[in-house]
């Protein structure tokens, strides 16, 4: 979302902020093991179809943003049965379907 913005201002950004192919493969195998059924998903960012475009930073050219993780999560989300999904990358508080963007809030985990 803000890699170049941070780099221009001398703030850190790390290439390994994107999951490696090995991590993606390990996640996929875990989902296969559980039959693509989970209660809760915790991820830093969200599936591509849920990207909150209203949260885009106006000074960032979105053509230069690496959205491969969001597209990968979109693929997962299309196959996964889940009760709730939490993410926080976008610095907003919002609910869409079963996806919860958390920023300055929290939720109590259900038993």
Choice between 3 and 64, residue whose per-residue pLDDT is larger: 64
Q: What is the mean pLDDT of residues 68-89?
A: 94
- Give this prediction's pTM: 0.80
Q: What is the pLDDT of residue 42?
A: 94
Tokens of 72: 């990968």
Q: What is the pLDDT of residue 108?
A: 79
Q: What is the mean pLDDT of residues 5-14?
A: 64
Q: Is 74 left (phi over 0), alpha (psi -120 to 50) or beta?
A: alpha
Give the whole-angstrom CA distance, residue 34 versus residue 100: 22
Q: What is the mean pLDDT of residues 24-35?
A: 96
Tokens of 1: 């979302």
Chain centroid, CA 75 distance in Å: 12
């Amino acid at each position: 979302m803000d890699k170049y913005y941070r780099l221009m201002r001398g703030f850190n950004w790390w290439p390994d902020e994107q999951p490696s192919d090995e991590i993606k493969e390990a996640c996929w195998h875990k989902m296969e093991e559980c039959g693509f059924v989970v209660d809760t998903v915790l991820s830093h960012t969200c599936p591509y179809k849920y990207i909150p475009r209203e949260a885009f930073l106006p000074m960032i050219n979105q053509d230069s943003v690496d959205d491969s993780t969001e597209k990968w999560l979109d693929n997962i989300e299309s196959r996964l049965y889940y009760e709730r999904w939490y993410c926080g990358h976008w610095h907003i508080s919002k609910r869409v379907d079963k996806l919860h963007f958390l920023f300055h809030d929290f939720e109590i985990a259900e038993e």
